[in-house]
Structure 1
Amino acid sequence: MTDVSVAQPPLKASGAFYVETVTWVQHWTESLFSFRTTRDPGLRFASGQFVMVGLVVDGKPLVRAYSIASPAWHEELEFYSIKVPDGPLTSRLQNIKVGDQVLIGRKPTGTLVLDGLKPGKRLYMLGTGTGLAPWLSLARDPEVYERFEQVIVTHTVREVADLNYRELFEEELPKDEILAEVIGGKLTYYPTVTREPFRTQGRITDLIESGKFFEDIGNPPFDPAEDRVMLCGGPSVLVDLKQQLLDRGFVEGSIAKPGDFVLERAFVET
């Protein structure tokens, strides 16, 4: 993996970007890492939205879309990223350290927001890989639990080591001083692994189709009258998940016209 230094002179805020300072970096595996930055008080976003994040390379901003993994109320910004060895951005971004500066776009956007969904009983957030990021934001947002009786977060990965944030869902959130009372047993975390032995194995689409997913969590199959769904992950999985929902009578929604499910199409590997 190329070791590209991100050392750079102090940056100045521009019309399109804030300049924020890295406060925390966590390398989960050789291909996955997370980081946090300071947050300008002027940045407002809804949990589930994404923003452009990047570095100045050769005097120009090099950015890509990242879901904000921290909830809208948090004083810092958190991001969850893959490492692409030859990626123009992540080959550099993976080497950031505490104290480094990054560019954060001033205009958050995205479809994975509560206002894109009609009222419902259960909220399913189905994610693969770093598609977990928006669920990290939404699962820590009290408004989610005000709107839904049950919140189910799925995370499908290739290997067990890729189940980053597992401790957050299984141990930390149930004990959190503030959120534990708000969540109150409403949150269900469902991790699955496709290439190694694990208690729940397989692609989430297959587990939905076979009914094992619903059997495992003790819920009835998808019902557009009661269930609302958010999708984020690899393109092929999104295509299959969307078709499963359409086949069951779900209608895609947007902020302009709320529906039964929403998905995010903004992400590419860079």
Structure 2
Amino acid sequence: PNADRPVFRAYSIASPSWDEQIEFYSIKVPDGPLTRYLQRLRVGDTVLMRRKPTGTLVNDALLPGKRLWMFATGTGIAPFASIIRDPETYEKFDEMIVCHTCRTSQELTFGRNLLNDLKNDPLVGELSPRLTLYDTLTREDWPRVGRQTDLMASGKMFSDLGVPPIDPDTDRAMICGSMAMLNDTKAALESFGLEEGANSRPATFVVEKAFVG
């Protein structure tokens, strides 16, 4: 509200649905129309929020399956920080894989810390061995280098993880990232036979269209 006019951006909620606090994960853009204010917030400051949350990255939008893939780039990992701390996810899937691609290793820190801390989570800590992080970089040396779609197309992602290629009978997926990443990953999943779903019509993968970053 202290801006020239109210500035709204779509942010994925990173905290689990049962939490009494709401967490968000964002980059800090020095002159960004919103983050220039967010990064200077103090306790007691006011932030405007729309009353109704929207989005498709929820368990109800997917049909039950064996393996859940979560494809993210950059801060697109935020909604998956919520999903992997939700006990319902572990009831619905036997295995979960978070695929996170960034430009630099520093940008991977949030995801790596998240999965490390999950071991001590009071609700899902004992189930955390069923969760795997597959992180890759595009601009630095790293054990895994390349875009997720390229690693899927070559089969390297599946061989690295020791799992079979994506199969619509067993695999489900969620995608969150830049618009180009969303389109490329959606096309890759459709090539494996997966179909896009929605809250009103669950299917085998969903895309978070509101998030761009």
TM-score tier, shorter chain, comes to over 0.9
2:154 equivalent in structure 1: 210
**Mapping for residues 95-114 of structure 1, pairs under 5 Å:** 95-114=40-59
Q: State the match for 2:94 in structure 1.
A: 149
User: TM-score with structure 1 length normalisation?
Assistant: 0.75
SS of 1:105 mapped into structure 2: coil
* Aligned-residue offset at 1:265: 1.1
**SS of residue paired to 1:57:** coil
Q: How does 1:82-97 map to 2 (within 5 A)?
A: 82-97=27-42
Match of residue 113 from structure 2: 167
**Aligned AA for 2:119?**
P
* Alignment RMSD (CA, Å): 1.5
Give 1:266's aligned residue: 210
Structure 1 pair 86/66, CA: closer, same or farther in 2 (3 Å)? same
- Correspondence 1:19-38 to 2 at 5 A: none
Cα separation, 1, equivalents of 2:189 and 2:200: 20
1:255: which partner in 2? Answer: 199
Q: Following TM superposition, by how much is the alpha carbon of 1:85 offset from its aligned partner in structure 2, in angstroms? A: 3.4
Aligned pair 1:128/2:63, yes or no? no
Gap regions ≥5 residues in structure 1: 1-54
Q: Report the equivalent of 1:7.
A: none
Unaligned runs of at least 5 residues, structure 2: none
Displacement of 1:96: 1.9
Separation of aligned partners in 2, 1:176 and 1:72: 14
Kindly state the Cα deviation for residue 185 of structure 1 after the two structures are TM-superposed.
1.6
> Post-superposition shift, 1:99?
4.2
* Distance 1:133-1:249 versus aligned 2 partners, 3 A rule: same
In the TM superposition, what is the alpha-carbon distance from 1:56 to its structure 2 partner? 4.1
Q: How does 1:15-94 map to 2 (within 5 A)?
A: 55-58=1-4, 60-94=5-39
CA deviations over 1:22-81 (Å, ceiling 9, x no partner): xxxxxxxxxxxxxxxxxxxxxxxxxxxxxxxxx4423x4322110000000111111011
- Aligned to 2:201, the other structure's residue is in SS state coil
Matched, 1:198 2:145: no
Q: Displacement of 1:124 after TM fit?
A: 0.5
Could you tell me which residue of structure 1 aligns to residue 174 of structure 2?
A: 230
1:66 aligned counterpart, secondary structure: coil
- Aligned partner of 2:204: which letter? D
**Whole-Å separation in 2 of the counterparts to 1:99 and 1:152:** 38
Report the Cα offset of residue 97 of structure 1.
3.3
Classify the secondary structure of the residue corresponding to 2:109. Answer: coil
CA contact 1:56–1:62 (8 Å) conserved in 2: no
The AA in structure 1 aligned to 2:132 is: T
Normalised TM-score (structure 2): 0.94
Q: Which has the higher helix share?
A: 2
Q: CA deviation at 1:267?
A: 2.4
Number of aligned residue pairs: 212
Residue pair 1:79, 1:133 contacting (<8 A) in 2 also: yes
Q: 1: distance between equivalents of 2:124 and 2:45?
A: 31
Question: Deviation of residue 175 (structure 1)?
Answer: 2.7
What whole-Å deviation, never above 9, does each CA across 1:143-179 have from its counterpart, x for those lacking one? Answer: 000000001111100000011321221x211233332
Cα deviation 1:175-198 (Å, max 9, x = unaligned): 3333212x2521111111111111
Q: Which has the higher strand share?
A: 1
2:96 is paired with a residue of what secondary structure? strand
- Deviation sequence 1:87-119 (CA, Å, 0-9, x none): 211222222234433223221110111111111
**Preserved contact between residue 87 and residue 123 of structure 2 (Cα < 8 Å):** no
Equivalent AA in structure 1 for residue 197 of structure 2: G
User: Letter of the aligned partner of 1:218 in structure 2?
Assistant: G
AA in 2 matched with 1:63: F
- C-alpha change, 1:177 and 1:113, in structure 2 (3 Å) is closer
- Give the distance between the partners of 2:100 and 2:117, measured in 1 at CA: 17
Deviations 1:202-225 (A, max 9, x none): 111111111111111111001011
| Structure whose alpha-carbon radius of gyration is higher | 1
